[in-house]
Amino acid sequence: MQAVILAAGESSRFWPLNQRHKSLLKIIGRPLIWYTIEGLKKAGIKEIIIVQSPRKDIEEELKNYNFPNLKIKYVIQKKPKGMGNALWQTRNLTQDKFFVLNAERLDGESHLKLARFERAPLALFATYTSTPWVYGILKLKGNKILEIVEKPKPGEEPSNLKVVGTYLLPKEFFNYYQKVKKHMYDFEDTFNLFIKKRGAKMIKIEKESLGLKYPWDLFEITKYLMDKFLKPKISKSAKIAKNVVIEGKVYIGENTKIFEGAVIKGPCYIGDNCVIGNNSLIREYTNLERNSLIGAFAEVTRSIFQEDIHTHCGYFGDSIFGKDCRIGAGTITANVRLDRGEIKPVVKEEKIRTGLTSLGTIVGKNTKIGINCSLMPGVLIGSNCTIGPNSVVSENIEDNATFYTEFKGIKKEK
């Protein structure tokens, strides 16, 4: 049993969290690709080929983990030329039949168990979606697949069945790839050509599959992982004040300090060497990676903090912060619109429907935010930014920017 994991793309729609490959974001102390690999092992996979970018960030991160009885090979996609080109890099390593999936395909285990005895020349997984214009959509005649239509316009979608991103492919797929014109979506062209000549099997999944196209998809993935993998634990080296309240499924890592009056309501993950200040509230699917510091009188709910993030007092709801951010006292992430309507962030100059009425701010790595800042619902802030004190951020801020709300000051009479 062999699988190919695709982990070389730029993930432009995942900005501002795409400084590294999106599968390297950590939840419960491990990168997302770790869960994908473990799932493949459980499904019976013995060999994995990982396609990565020239940065080799996947290979570098996975050196920190052991995968007994599993053989992992790495190949490089020199430029992000799409899924077809990424898969082409594995042509000399793949066997007669192999699975293909994206690095963040956390539910790949269940997919592979359904398809491992499939005898069709080619099989794909599909599930229903309420936003077909975002995905590759199947055009069908009865149960027969006619083609994949990539991101159809609203109202022109041939069905509401999206391609999940897990495939069972034969070696001869590469022969068909050589016949199509090369561009970003030449994988879909190859797939459609193969269907016309040989046909394909659709394996339908009734429940919508976990995906990671946009950064806010991390919230659903965090919930899935915490419900499935989080085990309550308080490390022996953790120092917890006597009147701290801990309820529900909570993990507290090594050398973490929790001061007087703090309340932790699970499910929550608090990693190693964290600090939770006096009278702070941490609750409901919050994930704090190692070296996070939450100051006194802060509230953090349904939020994801990567490593080494420091905050003071403030409110952080339904928000994500990349590694090494610093957040000043009194900063608030607004996570609900005044009219309680759907929040639509702007991605690549286009408003995206999220289906969410609660969504805070998403911030890239190494960004500094001053005191008393107000961050509006659905705002995306890039990496390496500086946000001045008392600023109101109501629109996206690009990477490496400095942003200050204009302050006219107070006139003084002589």
Residue 136: the pLDDT is: 84
Strand segments (E) across 189-271: 201-205, 233-234, 239-240, 245-247, 250-252, 257-258, 263-265, 268-270
Task: Give residue for tokens 């956390």.
Answer: 106
Orientation angle between helical segments 32-42 and 108-115, nearest 10 degrees = 30
117 and 225 fall within a common domain: no
CATH, residue 31: 3.90.550.10
**Does the global pTM surpass 0.85?**
yes
204 and 222 fall within a common domain: no
**Mean pLDDT over all residues of the chain?**
91
Task: Give residue for tokens 């490959």.
Answer: 21
Residue 208: the pLDDT is: 67
Decide if 411 is inside a domain.
no
288 and 204 fall within a common domain: no
162 and 131 fall within a common domain: yes
CATH, residue 222: 2.160.10.10
* Count of structural domains, the chain: 2
Residue 129 CA from chain centroid, whole number: 18
125 pLDDT band, cuts 50/70/90, is confident
Residue 411: the pLDDT is: 54
Decide if 304 is inside a domain.
yes
Q: Which of 195, 213, 231 is the last residue of a domain?
A: 213
Residue 140 backbone phi and psi in degrees, to 5: -125, 155
Q: Give tens-digit pLDDT for 321-371.
A: 999 999 999 999 999 999 999 999 999 989 998 989 999 999 999 999 999
Decide if 74 is inside a domain.
yes
Residue 162: the pLDDT is: 87
Q: Give tens-digit pLDDT for 290-311.
A: 999 999 999 999 999 999 999 9
Q: Which domain holds residue 55?
A: 2-213
Q: What is the mean pLDDT of residues 172-195?
A: 92
Decide if 412 is inside a domain.
no
Decide if 8 is inside a domain.
yes
Decide if 148 is inside a domain.
yes
